[in-house]
Amino acid sequence: MEAFSQLVQRAEQAFGQARTPAELEDAKARFLGKAGELTARMKELSSLSVDEKKARGAEINAAKQEVEGLLAARRQALADAELTRQLQAESLDVSLPGRRRGSGGLHPITRAMERIESIFGSMGFDVADGPEIETDWYSFTALNNPENHPARSMQDTFYVDLNDAEGRPLNLRPHTSPMQIRYAQAHARRYAGAATMPEIRVIAPGRTYRVDSDATHSPMFHQVEGLWVGESISFKDLKAVYLRFIRAFFETDDLQIRFRPSYFPFTEPSAEIDMMFGSGPLKGRWLEVSGSGQVHPQVIRNMGLDPERYIGFAFGSGIDRLAMLRYGVGDLRLFFDGDLRFLTQFK
């Protein structure tokens, strides 16, 4: 008969060949189950004498314990292998670089506007905001540009299919100049009863609209209005403020401005402001950057102020033009096409 040690060896081999818990259970049944080999050996005991039973019984028990030990070890080994497999499947490589979220950036026009606001802010100017859909009075009449006046055709205005309280069609403001009136009126009202009124010093940047479209004109564009009204504000203040602004904006003192006589209904005298770089690719070329002038007495009156007492200057500059010059952009339309290849360069 086969020695118990051999039986134990076969069991070990069978357990070792089991690749899964189910296979292991099958192998177990062959040795330890009801119809298993060890059980069969037990059954043989009945035909033996008492002494032989004792000796053989002890051998069987020892073999059974060994087989059970081997089974438990193999179970544990399979469970460990399964755990390792799972851990490897779910493992994270913490040395991999993370996935970044795309980061946004400010639009170049917004950047230019923020620069303008901070420069004028440093010179004591308030920043005001106003409606883009305007009444006829604020866009034109209050600015000394009455109905049927030929100067209205300087601005090819978009009209809205809605009338204001006076029955005149609303317009998409063709310039930021209505903000001169709105801001000054509010200021005048605030100090109506007071003995003295602080000076008005404000800029109003924002969107403006005209029927115009080519490489340097867009139907929607941006202006910044400036207004300084007090009891003794003159053209020399305008020149000083504007020169300081434009030098700060372009971050160079190697830059000049000149005033060229012009006409606007709301300023008298009026001037275009041109600037010229002293170096760089645009060196020596005069570039028009702003309309300006001394606020017309009738406009002062329309603000609710006394033109015998108050005087000041106003200017209106094209922000897109300034941004094109600052960033070296040749075609204005690039700003508004929404092409990320262009826009992400300004991040």
CB of 106 to ligand PHE, least distance (A): 25
Given the complex with ligand PHE, which of 249 and 259 has the nearer CB atom? 259
Nearest residue (CB) to ligand PHE, 242 versus 315: 315
Closer Cβ to ligand PHE, 135 or 267, answer by number: 267
For residue 179, the minimal CB distance to ligand PHE (Å) is: 10
- The residues that touch ligand PHE, with contacts defined as CB under 6 A, are 175, 177, 264, 267, 291-293, 314-316
Within 10 Å of residue 343's Cβ, how many Cβ atoms?
A: 17
What are the tokens at 213?
Answer: 């479209």
Q: At closest approach, how far in Å is the CB of 177 from ligand PHE? A: 4
How many whole angstroms separate alpha carbon 211 and alpha carbon 219? Answer: 5
Structure tokens at 174: 């063709």
Q: How far is the CB of 252 from ligand PHE (least distance, A)?
A: 25
115, amino acid identity: R
Least Å from the CB of residue 113 to ligand PHE: 17
Given the complex with ligand PHE, which of 206 and 291 has the nearer CB atom? 291
**Distance in angstroms between the alpha carbons of the first and the last residue of the chain:** 88
* C-beta of 144 vs 292, nearer to ligand PHE: 292
How far apart are alpha carbons 154 and 146 in whole angstroms?
13
* Strand-pair category, 267-277 with 126-127: unpaired
